[in-house]
Chain A
Amino acid sequence: SAVISQKPSRDICQRGTSLTIQCQVDSQVTMMFWYRQQPGQSLTLIATANQGSEATYESGFVIDKFPISRPNLTFSTLTVSNMSPEDSSIYLCSVDSGGGAYEQYFGPGTRLTVT
């Protein structure tokens, strides 16, 4: 399975500011995904990022709020813009294994608190 790292691991931010989260994979992957996990809740997909194309956002998530970059096959960033306390959450990136079941492997997550 791929080894995935995320930076920062945690941050405390003031409302109205923006935070960019980085996701690095140790191998080239086609699909990368960004999820949000709110306290005590399950994982909700924010968007799917393919290298060289615009990210595909799920219902309820917009590019202006969560811009994503995917400059190459091993790296992606998610920016949480104009933050409010409701954005306090764990943000996780994952990658597609490329196997038959397209199982996904996850990074350790970024714990964001907005004050």
Chain B
Amino acid sequence: QKEVEQDPGPLSVPEGAIVSLNCTYSNSAFQYFMWYRQYSRKGPELLMYTYSSGNKEDGRFTAQVDKSSKYISLFIRDSQPSDSATYLCAMRSQGAQKLVFGQGTRLTINP
């Protein structure tokens, strides 16, 4: 079993829809949770990070962490064609430098 599981998609939604991207994990020591966006032929770009449980909002993006369920989510409101990319979750334990990545979900927003 992988430490971090992420549905690879692909996921295709119409412009303006609310998008929900999710990851589950097995290591209860993970404390820091990140979401990266990767456009085709580019390096991953850090979108958001959260510590422990709770929500964090940044514009149209909301990250949620439920440590009791070992489940994290990224919501995109009012999705735009420019949001079309692969979204990767990543997480790490307290005191560890190593990030563990999910497989990435390929998202397409259709105009």
Which A positions have Cβ atoms within 8 angstroms of B? 1, 4, 31, 33, 40-45, 48, 58, 92, 96, 100-109, 111
**B residues contacting the other copy or chain, number (CB 8 A):** 23
**Tally of A-B Cβ pairs under 8 angstroms:** 52
Which residues of B31-69 are within 8 A (CB) of A?
32, 34, 36, 41-46, 49, 51
Give CA–CA (A2, B32) in the complex, Å.
20
Asked whether A1 lies within 8 Å of B46 as measured between CB atoms, the reply is: yes
Which residues of B55-111 are within 8 A (CB) of A?
88, 90, 92, 97-99, 101-104
* Given A43-B101, A102-B97, A103-B49: A92 in contact with B43 (beta carbons within 8 A): yes
Give CA–CA (A48, B98) in the complex, Å.
8
Set of chain B residues within 8 Å of A58, measured between Cβ atoms: 98
B32 to nearest A CB, angstroms? 5
Asked whether A31 lies within 8 Å of B97 as measured between CB atoms, the reply is: yes
